Copies of this chain bind each other. A is one copy, B any other.
């Protein structure tokens, strides 16, 4: 009899195990989010668009959520990590360019002059892109980013930038995907910069990364076709560029948008103006102890208009200090 029952016992144990996991997950899908208005808004939105019979139900292929990157998924202070990458590239190349010690915008970047860096205008941006992001193939550029991201450390947190990601947002990404959402990055940062590490860091594959781009050209190197990065800005995926980038790359209006600065304002407007239930959410950096506290006066990630209009537009504002139990993933 005991032998005869074993398979059923095993089956029962398996069912219990699965059931328990499901129950645990259901009990706490967002363990790093304190109970409060932000968490409640997320749970209510997901229930509204995913529960069969809900008036706002959306079938699986249409559940799209878009996330800004800098300041929304990873730490953007004291400098955008991509600006640090550029500075480090310029430093590595500086011995061959003595003129950079005198010429802007190179001088500002090499000297970590943050106010001057924040003030770099379009012309300076083109000079930087020309010097650091062009004249090589896409695959060569990816290799540079891969080397940098593996070795660079955040100056304050002393850990790789890909570990300066927000644990509550990682849980949110996983929670949305578990409910049939496709999660996209929509960032002012460079698409080819982010694609190198977005999949291991966020579970977001390269084709779901929408970002700023330089023009590329198909060329033959000997008999081998490559994509050459040209010294020309193709597209700036920021402010009003974000909805344009969404239209071009995703091709439908997402259900939810997550941002943290005025660069996300138009994306939040565009997404939350769609019919049916929508979610717009702003991460407000209010925690100088555990991370940074900044909004309307910050050179990096300035947040004013989107914050002011959030109540009237029904956008959820996350108070990082009050809403998040932890900021970063535990040390490995």
Contact = CB atoms under 8 A, between A and B. Distances in A.
Interface in A119-176: 138
Contact of A218 (B199, B208, B216, B270): B270
B266 A225 contact: yes
Nearest to A198: B251
B218 A240 contact: yes
Interface stretch (A36-44, A83-91, A242-250): A242-250
Interface string A297-311: 000000000000000
B273 A216 contact: no
A217 interface: yes
Contacts of A227: 243-244, 247, 270
Contacts of A192: 251
A217 B195 contact: no
A225 to B, nearest CB: 4
Interface string A254-289: 000000000000100110010000000000000000
Contacts of A184: 207
Most chain B CB within a 10 A radius of its CB, from A213, A227, A247, A250: A247
Nearest to A246: B227
Chain A interface size, under 10 / 10 to 19 / 20 to 34 / 35 or more: 35 or more
Interface in A77-116: none
Interface in A183-239: 184, 191-192, 195, 199, 205-209, 213, 216-218, 224-225, 227, 234
Contact of A244 (B207, B217, B273): B217
Contact of A248 (B64, B216, B243): B216
Given A207-B182, A209-B251, A225 B269 contact: yes
A105 to B, nearest CB: 26
A61 interface: yes
A206 B252 contact: yes
A273 B218 CA distance: 13
Interface of A: 61, 64, 138, 182, 184, 191-192, 195, 199, 205-209, 213, 216-218, 224-225, 227, 234, 240-241, 243-244, 247-252, 266, 269-270, 273
8 contacts: A64-B207, A182-B207, A192-B251, A207-B208, A207-B249, A209-B251, A218-B244, A218-B266
